Amino acid sequence: MIVLDFFRKYALNIFFVVLLLVVVRSPITPIFITKNLTYAFFFVSAFFIFWQALVNPRVFLQRSFLLFYIVWFVYLIYFILFDQSYEGLAYLILKGVTFATIIICSSYYFKHYIKTFPETIVKSGLFILFLGLFFDQNILQFRYDGILNNPNTLGFLSSIILGILILKEDFSTKKIFLMLFLIVMILASGSRGAILGVLIALLFRSFTLKNIIFLGFVLISLLAINEVATHLGMETGLNRIKETKGSFTSRNMTNYYGYKTLMLSPWTGFGLDKYAFITSKVIPIQLKYILVPNPHNSYMGMFIQLGIPFAIIILLTMLYYILKMLLSREKDKIFLFLVVFSAISGLYESHLFSLFAFEGIVFWISIGLYLKYINDHGDI
């Protein structure tokens, strides 16, 4: 029982760290090691889920987690009707393991995770960012990515860490320096979505006089550092927003070919493992080796994956529970920020329904903990 309790208390934090390692470039963390580590986590989690089902199966019958039950049963019905492939079965099982892990951990150590999950994001994320400077000091390159697999990943990670620090009510010199460092990372990444994350966090901060001064400091720092970065020739996210006349994304081409892919099988989709898929049949020959066959939109990816009827069920269910969170009387601003920003970022990245994206697990863990939070306060 001690081992099972250890799983309940630490699995979600370990899950995030393991998936964060997946996006660290080789040779710092070789891909075969991180992938095998991820599968090992799923395997161990499945063992403890089975153990939990024997000890106390009622933990899986809580109203707080109805979102997870609906999403997984939609996957199950889709698999039975349209996708009896090995890849589809693997996706179904691993999604079930993910959701069950969140349910178990949230049920037994909800208050522990409310405190430690944001801390895990901040500490492990900062470690990766500082380690990136050790291996790659060329922060003045076109778009900086440190040791992560691309600049947008670095931007998202920096943005959620900065958002958590913005929404924490403490003040210290250390916090100010960390925030300035994160602003530099966000601007160096050139990610427009990361800028959006900062703005969302600022909107969630309460508007007392002290906080208005604090928010002013963040905005002035952002603009001042952007000016310096521009002078040094860096392609910052703010400058890219200006160049695209206020747009936070430029995914029109991938969305277009994602739509054309969907229209080839609009009612039954392409399979559970096709959550980030564009078929080569719709890509012109001149773009075959240029366009990444990924819609870069989690919701478009879900429609391609499941087809219109099943995707609409999941989309409406997600919207319902996100609105519940926004309208609830009791609010935890940090988790609300993590859910809202992750959900919005799904409009320009295909990570929400991935098995291995740390951005996606941030969304699902955060929404699970938040739904438990508002349920305990009688708001759901």
Q: What is the pLDDT of residue 288?
A: 72
Confidence at residue 255, expressed as pLDDT on a 0 to 100 scale: 85
> pLDDT digit string (tens) for 23-60?
888 666 666 677 788 999 999 999 999 999 999 989 99
pLDDT recorded at residue 90: 95
- Does residue 154 sit within a domain? yes
> Which residue numbers in the chain have pLDDT < 70?
26-32, 207-209, 242-250, 377-380
Classify residue 129: in a domain, yes or no.
yes
DSSP strand E in 101-255: where?
Answer: none
Strand partners, 221: none
* Chain segment 233-274, per-residue pLDDT in tens: 777 777 777 666 555 455 778 888 899 999 999 999 999 999
Token pair 């010199």 in the structure block, residue: 173
Token duo for residue 119 = 């801390």
| Whether residue 266 has a cis bond before it, omega within 30° of 0 | no
Per-residue pLDDT, 249: 53
pLDDT of res. 377: 67
Are the CB atoms for 13 and 117 separated by under 8 Å?
Answer: yes
- Token pair 């963040």 is found at 218
Instruction: Give the residue from 148, 119, 153, 121 showing the smallest Cα distance to 136.
Output: 148
Residue 29 lies in a domain: no
Which residues, including other chains, have CB under 8 Å from residue 135's CB and lie 6 or more apart? 28, 146, 147
Residue whose tokens read 């969305």: 255
Residue position matching structure tokens 């039975």: 80
Task: Of 229, 195, 233, give the one whose Cα is nearest residue 345.
Answer: 195
Amino acid at 368: G
The residue among 158, 123, 143 whose CA lies nearest residue 188 is 143
Q: How many angstroms separate the CA atoms of 298 and 38, rounded? A: 21
In the chain, how many domains are there? 1
Strands (E), 67-208: none
Distance, CA of 357 to CA of 20 (rounded, Å): 8
pLDDT, residue 300, reads: 95
**Encoding tokens for residue 61?**
């019958």
Positive or negative CA dihedral for 8, 11, 13, 14? positive
* 169 inside domain: yes
Decide if 187 is inside a domain. yes
Helix (H, G, I), strand (E, B) or coil at 345: helix
Phi-psi region of 249 (alpha: psi -120 to 50; beta: other; left: phi over 0): beta
pTM score, whole prediction:
0.92
Q: Is 321 part of a structural domain of the chain?
A: no
Coil, strand, or helix at residue 148?
Answer: strand
> Domain range holding 190?
123-250
User: Dihedral (C-alpha) 113, 201, 182, 342: value to the nearest 10 degrees?
Assistant: 60
Q: Strand, coil or helix: what is 1?
A: coil
Q: Could you report how far apart the first and last alpha carbons of the chain are, in Å? A: 31
Q: Is residue 155 part of a domain?
A: yes
127 located within any domain: yes
> Are the C-beta atoms of residues 68 and 367 closer than 8 Å to each other?
no
Instruction: Tell me what pLDDT residue 250 has.
Output: 58
